[in-house]
Structure 1
Amino acid sequence: MFSSFTNAVFRVTLVVIALSSKCTASNTCKGCTDLDELTFEKLVKRFQVTIVKFDIAYPYGDQHEAYSRFAQDVYHIDDLLVATVGIKDYGELDNKNLSQRFNVPEKLPSIKMFLNGDTTKWVDYPENAEVKTEDLKQFVRTNSKVYIGLSGCIREFDDIASEFVKNYSTKMYETALAKANKLIEGYEDEKLKSTGKVYIILMKRVVEVGLHYVEEEKQRTEELLGKKISSAKRQEMLDRLNILKAFEAPDKLAKTEL
């Protein structure tokens, strides 16, 4: 009887160890900095932009992996800190006070962006939006001065498109068109020239149809991606979607202050 009991305890111990190891592995977020009550203020104030994912103590799944990929993609940007805060609702309630301080909802994860080291206000990642690597990049691009390049995009043309949309007018279009054409003339690489012309075509269509064209074109492009197309055509459509993001008006995201 004693032997059976010992074996049972041994098996349970192995299961606990295995689960513990799984939790530890799933918590890995390469490129992320773990913050807590002591380090939060100290580190956030040192960066122009800090994006923080408040989550359970041992996060896992597609959204956590997407956040980790985002952190790895932007690790080279000195002005951007990608961080995580693990919240425990048991035991010593680690970081529970941080979740209360920043109005973190019960539904996790919750992602917030802090600008210029100011922890008294922040920008919330859309609560009901799925956490995706490219969407996180766009979230930072739209709401800060940190530039994150997307596949198929050219920074100078992204800046032209963004300025064109923010100050949309016929005069702005003429100014943007002149800048774009001048850039294209200076390129020797045919691929850069071709990409630059895509931006010009999109600006022209916005002038002809209106700002709503951007969303309509995004939907059309996404529909094409849902069909059976070649890998080359798929990449072309993905790059077009990224270029269209440069034409999006600033999101009406919830900006919160303490």
Structure 2
Amino acid sequence: MRSLLAGIVAASAVASAMAATMGVVTVDQYTIDKVVDGTRTVLLKVDRPYPYGEKEDAFKEFAKLAGSLSVEDSKGFLIAEVNVQNYGDKDNAVVQERLGLKESEFPAYLLFKDGASPADGGASKAIRFKGQVNTENLLAFVRSKVGIRVAGPGTVAAMEKLVDELLLASEDDRPAVLEKARPVAAKLHGEDHTRGQVYLRLMEKVISKGTEWPAKELKRMESLAGKKMSSAKRTTVEHKLKLLPSFVREEL
């Protein structure tokens, strides 16, 4: 009997550990105000219990990448999640009510920074992530709103730095940044060389069409993602979907 109970406890512990998301602090209705307390910048994910699917996979990849940053590089940034149960004991339902969220909005991402917290104004002082949930968009959101850079899958670190430089430059200075980027892209090898050429084309578009163009193009690429197309066209779309978020400076 004791061995059976021990087995159940062990299995429960393993399941709990497997359910935890790397790089994420799980909070509940009792601990949320102790973690998201206004002393640090926190991205809070509000979701159903045991989430799964593409959005959850994207979140886990994002959390792993962001969580791998050093304390210095992360600037104290923290990712937290609270899972709301709207049946039975209704665990953490009070958190959903405080934040003014509907279950249909799950997963919801709220960024609390500059002293904002759920205890001080609920979600009214948080910055809401409104983009399509994927790893690249979440990384771009954090980069834009928190000021930390995390190298996303399919990106090239050397080119990412030049993207930042391009977007921070004045309209007159952007062509010089593009010329600076050309030899960097030329020195890349393999798949990174292909990506480097995409970076250059996107930079050229920003110079000719302005900094609002990447957000519009990203939405267009997202609408094309599920449609039939040639393998060459699909490769182009996939590259753009991974790289365009780095160029977006609007709120995602």
Q: Which residue of 1 aligns with 2:250?
A: 250
TM-superposed CA distance for 1:207, in Å, is 4.0
User: What corresponds to 2:5 in structure 1?
Assistant: none
Q: CA deviation at 1:184?
A: 5.0
In structure 2, the CA distance between the partners of 1:63 and 1:186, relative to structure 1 (3 Å rule), is: closer
Aligned partner of 1:140 in structure 2 is 142
CA 1:146 to 1:117, structure 2 compared with 1: closer, same or farther past 3 Å?
Answer: farther
| Aligned residue number for residue 35 of structure 1 | 27
TM-score computed with the length of structure 2 as normaliser: 0.67
How far is 1:157 from its partner? Answer: 1.6
Q: Is the 1:143–1:250 contact (alpha carbons within 8 Å) kept by the matching residues of 2?
A: no
Local SS of the residue matching 1:143: helix
Q: Tell me if the contact between 1:26 and 1:59 (Cα under 8 Å) persists in the aligned partners.
A: no
Question: What secondary structure does 1:190 align onto?
Answer: coil
**Alignment partner of 1:173: what SS?**
coil
Shift in CA distance, 246/71, structure 1 to aligned 2, threshold 3 Å: closer
Q: Within the alignment, does 1:189 sit opposite 2:187 as a pair?
A: yes
User: Identical aligned pairs, as a percentage?
Assistant: 24
- Go from structure 1 to structure 2 and tell me whether the alpha carbon gap of 1:48 and 1:226 turns closer, same or farther (over 3 Å shift): farther
Structure 2's unaligned 5+ residue stretches are: 1-7
User: Residue by residue, what CA displacement relative to the aligned partner does 1:17-38 show, whole Å, maximum 9, x if unpaired?
Assistant: 9xx98xx679814212211233
> Quick one: structure 1 residues 176 and 159, their matched pair in 2 at CA, closer, same or farther if it must change by over 3 Å?
same
Deviates more, 1:107-116 or 1:201-210: 201-210
Amino acid at match of 1:244: L
Asked whether the equivalents of residues 45 and 116 of structure 1 are also in contact (C-alpha less than 8 Å), the reply is: no
**In the alignment, residue 124 of structure 1 is paired with which amino acid?**
R
Return the alpha-carbon distance in structure 2 between the equivalents of residues 45 and 130 of structure 1.
27
Query: Does the 8 Å CA contact 1:152/1:240 hold for their aligned counterparts?
Result: no
Deviation at 1:54, TM superposition (A): 1.2
How far off its partner does 1:145 sit?
1.0
- Over aligned residues, Cα RMSD in angstroms? 3.8
- In the superposition, the TM-score normalised over structure 1's length comes to 0.65
Higher Cα Rg, which structure: 1
- Partner SS, residue 111 of structure 1: strand
**Offset of residue 158 of structure 1:** 2.3
Flag structure 1 segments of 5+ consecutive residues without an equivalent.
1-16, 165-171, 254-258
Aligned equivalent of 1:6? none
Cα distance change of structure 1 residues 26 and 228 upon mapping to structure 2, 3 Å threshold:
farther
Query: Per the alignment, in what secondary structure is the counterpart of residue 85 of structure 1?
Result: strand
Structure 1 residue 144 displacement after superposition:
2.4
Confirm or deny: 8 A CA contact 1:114 1:122 kept in the other structure. yes
Are residue 228 (structure 1) and residue 235 (structure 2) matched? Answer: no
2:116 paired with 1:118: yes
Q: Which amino acid aligns with 1:144?
A: V
Match of 1:158 in 2: 163
Q: Aligned runs of 1:206-221 on 2, under 5 Å? A: 206-210=206-210, 213-214=213-214, 217-218=217-218, 219=220
* Cα distance in 1, alignment partners of residues 56 and 100 from structure 2: 20
Task: Decide which moves more: 187-196 or 63-72.
Answer: 187-196
Distance between the aligned counterparts of 2:193 and 2:54, measured in 1? 37
- Give aligned pairs, total: 221
Q: Is the 8 A contact 2:178 2:200 kept in 1?
A: yes
Tell me the secondary structure at the aligned position of residue 89 of structure 1. Answer: coil
